[in-house]
Each structure stands twice: as C-alpha cells, then as structure tokens.
Amino acid sequence: MSALYPFRALRPAPEAAARVASVPYDVVSADEARALVRDQPLSFLRVTRSEVDLPVGTDPYDARVYEQAVRQFEDLKRTAPMVLEDEPALYVYRLRMGAHEQTGLAGCFSIDEYDRDLIKKHERTRRDKEDDRTRHIVELRAQTGLVFLTYRASPDVDAIAARIVRTAPLYAFSAPDGVAHTLWRVNATDRRALVDAFAPLPALYIADGHHRAASAARARDMVQSDEARRFVAVAFPDVQVQILPYHRVVKDLAGRTPDAFLEALRATMTVIADAQAQPRGPGDVSMFLAGQWYTVRLPAPASGLARADTLDVARLERDVLQPILNIGDIRTDKRIDFVGGARGTAELERLVANGQAAVAFSMFPVTIGDLMEIADAGGIMPPKSTWFEPKLDYWCI
C-alpha cells in the first residue's frame, strides 16, 4: 500500500514562478547561495538558506537564521505573491535536461508508512542536519523542501500522467541552468484515479532528501495536525530517473609523492595511464594525479559481502582511501571532499591543478537497481553514493 494525499499547496503566482523557484538548499554553499540570490529578490533560497541575508560568517544554526527565514517567508507571501490553493490538489511535474526527461507526481505521502519502512531509505542521516530542518519546519509551520521519491514504474500511473501532460500547464519555465520545469495541476477526476493507482504500489524509495523526510517525521511530534503526519514529495518512476556519479577528491597523498602513491596502488591493483576521464564500467575508477588520468582497476570484492559493500564507492574506500591515503571516516575526515557528477570531470582537473586536491577519483555511477536492491534488503549505501540530476526546484509548500 502506498498512500497518496492531495494537499493545499502554497505556491507562487504563475507570473512569478520562475523568479521564486530555487535549487534545493543543500546543493549549494553559503557563498554560492548568496551569488544566486544577489539579483533575485524573490528567490526561495532566501527562505531555505536565510543566512544569505545575514552577515557573512553567520552560524547557519544561529537563532537569527530561523527568525530571518520566518520574516522572508512572510514577505515572500506578499511580494511574489504566493497563492494558497482553495482545495487540496496533486500536480504532475516534468523535468527536462538536454535529452533527458522525467515526469513525476507531486503530493503528500505518509510519515506512518515512512516509519514502517514502506517508504524505504538507503542512507543514514546526521543529527545536526535533522535538527536544522526540523526547526525550520516548526518555526515556519511549513515544509519548505521536497523529498525526491522513486518507485517501480506502474503502467496505470504512466497512463494517467500521459493524459495530464497533454493539457495546458500551470507553470512552464527554464531555470538558469537550462533545466526546463513544467507543472500541471491535476483535475478532480484524475486526482482520484492517481490515488487509486498509487495504492497498489508495494513500496516507495527515497532517492534524495533523507534529511528532509526525517525532519518531517520529527516535526510531526511537535506540530499536532493532520498535515504534519505527511511530507511533501515528488515521486518519479524508476525507469526515468537519472543517477550521475559522485566523485571523490583528497587533499594530500598522506606524505607520499605521486610516484610513491602509484607504486602503493600497483602493489595490489592494476593501474593504467590513459586519457580516460570517465570509467568504462563498474570496477574501474578514473584517477587524476599530477596532470595525468589513470584507470584504476579495483580488486574484486570478497564473496559474501552485502550488496552495498560491493559498490565501487565502498571498494575505493576499502582498498584505497583507508589503507593507502589514511582516510578515516569519510563522513567526518576533512581531507576528503565530494564532487557531484553534474559538475563534470573538468572540475576534478581544476581542483587538482590549482592545489585544492592532490588526487581526484572519477566514479562509475550507481544504478537505480542497485539502490532499490540495497533498500529492499534494509541496507545502507556508503555516504555520497548517488547524485540525482536534474534536481527538483522548490516551487510549492
């Protein structure tokens, strides 16, 4: 059973949608967020990253940040303006990035099903990030972040969505990054049909937004209302979602020279010098070191490992990052950083060339099948395993 609920969205008036829509709060740094809002007074980042309007260096968890978010939220309601739907609704949401297109359903989903693992997870969450978004929800009395869900594709859902996207959209605009966003409000007849079509789905999976879902679950216990028992999300069929690799960069070679590091690698695995910036397939990692790309062929995983431990990101950590580069916990070690696949391998070359990193690892992407298999087994993927692209813009609450 997968419960789907219409909701009364607070959304921008159509003429303001492109100026209000923003990237998710957690895919940009504070400096990047400030640059994005500089000429965009209506940007929703002023609500989700309200420190952009406070002095540089303000602690993002300072009480002033949440107070500023409340002020910005109230101001945005008036100036955008934001429109509260007269009755609960569902929406069909299409993202188009280049040749890639995905069409999902925006609505509310059950926190009770989340608690019972009918909405499945594949990542651990950090308490400080949960605390932040929980406080954000409670202070604003609003969920300001969409969770990205996926599910095994349903012909019934697909047929209804195909019918809806042939009608006139509520919003249609292209974001500065070139991604086209189109949104349709679902009529009453199709709304009932979609609720019925979702009900037989055996499970939903969190693709992106584990902290937003966890924070909504915590806020439910602090905000007593029917709406607080649900979280807002967009669910896309698995055959349409796109996962890009999540690359790794390390700041130093743990005291080794590049030649000594290569020698240490070659003692346990095959390393080939070539111009391949992207791995050819699973088990291969492309490495940029001292101005040269190499293919690193990771050792085969031992038999009997859990599926999550056989992913390339886990194998790289186990065979290279920990024993050779002395990286401890990749969640907390300050010597390692992560680069989402949307930035491309040119970003890896830039970081090494300007001395911000000593070595970069270009990864082969995890598949949606990997994610679902691991989540079905109750497993946890290594941190920073998946980068979903395109991202959801924030456009309604």
Helix (DSSP H) and strand (DSSP E) numbers for the chain = 13, 19
What pTM did the predictor assign?
0.92
Surface-to-core class of residue 91, CB atoms within 10 Å of its CB (0-12 exposed, 13-18 middle, 19+ buried): buried
**What phi, psi does 18 have (nearest 5°)?**
-65, -30
pLDDT value of residue 114 = 96
DSSP, residue by residue, 210-271: HHHHHHHHHHHTTS-SSGGGEEEEEEEETTT--EE-EEEEES--TT--HHHHHHHHHTTSEE
Residue 394, pLDDT score: 61
What are residue 315's phi and psi, to 5 degrees? -65, -40
Indicate the angle between helix axes 188-198 and 155-164, nearest 10 degrees: 160
Q: Return phi, psi of residue 306, to 5°.
A: -65, 155
pLDDT tens figures, 268-304: 999 999 888 999 999 999 999 999 999 999 999 999 9
pLDDT of residue 395: 55
Q: Which two tokens stand for residue 134?
A: 């929980």
365 by Cβ neighbours in 10 Å (0-12 / 13-18 / 19+) ranks as: buried
Token pair listed for 219? 């806020």
- Cβ atoms 261, 253 nearer than 8 A: yes
Amino acid symbol at 117: D
Complete domains list, the chain, with CATH = 1-243+367-397 (no CATH), 246-364 (3.30.1760)
Enter the tokens of residue 72.
Answer: 């910005």
Q: Are 361 and 286 in contact (CB under 8 A)?
A: yes
Question: Please, what sign has the CA dihedral across residues 154, 377, 117, 372?
Answer: negative
Q: What angle do CA 327, 352, 246 make, to 5 degrees?
A: 60
Q: How many residues does the chain have?
A: 397
User: Quick one: tokens of 198?
Assistant: 């979702």
Sign of CA dihedral 185, 191, 193, 197: positive
Over residues 80-127, the pLDDT tens digits come to 999 999 999 999 999 999 999 999 999 999 999 999 999 999 999 989
Mean pLDDT per block of 10 residues along the chain (397 residues) reads 93 94 88 92 95 94 96 96 95 96 97 96 92 95 94 97 97 90 96 97 96 94 84 97 97 98 97 93 97 96 94 97 95 93 91 97 96 96 93 65
Dig out the tokens for 300 from the structure.
Answer: 């085969």
Number of neighbours of residue 172 by Cβ within 10 angstroms: 15
- Cα 133 from Cα 137, distance rounded (Å): 6
